[in-house]
Structure 1
C-alpha cells in the first residue's frame, strides 16, 4: 500500500500477509481524499476509522496532518499493526481500539468530523444500514460532519434517510451521509 499525498507521499507500507484485509485501491483513495480536502482542514478534524484493517485510510489522514484519529478493528493483529506503524513509521500515536465496530458505535460518547467505515463487502444491506443508523442516532457526527461507507457496486445505500450522495470509482463506491 502507498501513501497518495501529504507529508509521506509515496511512502510504501507493507502489511503482514496474514491480516484479513482488503485495502482501498489507490485510485478510489485518491478520489476520496480529493473530495475531503475541499471540505475539511485535516489538522483540525477528528477522525474515526472503522474496520480499519491495515490502517490504509488512517495513514492518509496522518500524512495530511490529522492527529486526532481513532482506528477501530476487531482483529488483534490489525490493531497491533496500526499501533506499530503509526508510532514507528509516522511517529504519530493514535487511539487504536480492538472492538467489534457495532459495540463500539453503540457505546462511545465521542463526536467526530469524519467517520470512515470500510466493512467487508459481503455484509448484508442491514449491516451497512446499521452502521449509518448507529452513527446518526447516537449523534456521533459533529455539526457538518460526514459518514462515509465504502462498499461495492452491488450495494445501494441511497434509501437511508441521511444519505447525501455516492461516488463510484471502479468497483468501489463511497456513500456519504450527513446529520438530518
Structure 2
C-alpha cells in the first residue's frame, strides 16, 4: 500500500497482519480523492489544501496521510485497536510528518474534545456494526464536525445508511464491495426576524 499522489507520492505504508484492520482498497481511495480534488461537492474547489482533517477509525492512517500528502495542513487520527495504533504511529514516523499529525488512542464513540471543527472527516468504521450514526453523534458533540465539515463515510455496499437527522447525503458512489457516502450537516434555517 502506497501514498497515491502529492508530496508523499509513492511512499510505502505498512498494515498490521490479520483481519483486525481493513484498509480502504486502492481503487476506492483513488476514486475518493479524485472526487475531492475535482471539487464536485465543494463548488469546484478542492477542500484539501490547508484543510484540518480528522481520520476516524484510522487503521493504518492511509486516508489521513493521503490527505496530508495532497495539501492538508494537519491531521488528527482516532484509533483504539492496539495493532493498528502501532502501525499508524510507525507510518506517521516513517513519512516524517509527526509535526502535522496527532494520533489519539481513543475510541471514535468517545473522542477527545476538538479545538475546532475539522474541514474534512474520513470515517471508515468496521463493516455491518451500525457505527456510523453513533460515531457522527459523538464527533459532533465533541466539536469535530460542524456545519462546514465534509464527511466522507465508507460502508459495505449492502449496509443501510443510518444517519443522525441533521445530516444530508450529498452524493453516494459504489466501488466493489464498498460505498462512499459524502455528508454534510444540515444548516438550520435562520429564524424569521419578522415573526413575533
TM-score of the aligned structures, taking structure 2 as reference length: 0.79
- Say which is worse superposed, 21-30 or 38-47, in terms of deviation: 38-47
| Distance in 2 (alpha carbons) for counterparts of 1:158 and 1:15 | 29
Query: Which residue does the alignment assign to 1:109?
Result: 114
CA offsets, 1:86-142, max 9 Å, x none?
122x211110011111011xx523310111111100213xx3221223334555334
C-alpha deviation, 1:8, in angstroms: 2.4
Is there any run of 5+ residues in structure 1 with no aligned partner, and where?
Answer: none
Is there any run of 5+ residues in structure 2 with no aligned partner, and where?
Answer: 187-196
Alignment equivalent of 2:138, drawn from 134, 138, 156:
134
* Greater Cα radius of gyration, structure 1 or 2: 2
Alignment equivalent of 1:78, drawn from 79, 84, 99:
84
Query: Which residue does the alignment assign to 1:24?
Result: 24
| Distance in 2 (alpha carbons) for counterparts of 1:160 and 1:97 | 24
Query: Which residue does the alignment assign to 1:168?
Result: 174
In 2, are the aligned partners of 1:19 and 1:53 still within 8 Å (CA)?
Answer: no
Specify whether residues 139 and 179 from structure 1 end up closer, same or farther in structure 2 by C-alpha distance, changes over 3 A only. Answer: farther
C-alpha deviation, 1:150, in angstroms: 0.7
| Distance in 2 (alpha carbons) for counterparts of 1:108 and 1:57 | 21
In 1, are the aligned partners of 2:78 and 2:106 still within 8 Å (CA)?
Answer: yes
Asked if residue 91 in structure 1 is aligned to residue 105 in structure 2, the reply is no
| Distance in 1 (alpha carbons) for counterparts of 2:114 and 2:125 | 21
Specify whether residues 143 and 109 from structure 1 end up closer, same or farther in structure 2 by C-alpha distance, changes over 3 A only. Answer: same
DSSP-derived class of the 1:103 partner: coil
Greater helix percent: which structure?
1
| Distance in 1 (alpha carbons) for counterparts of 2:20 and 2:159 | 21
TM-score of the aligned structures, taking structure 1 as reference length: 0.85
* Aligned-residue CA RMSD (Å): 2.1
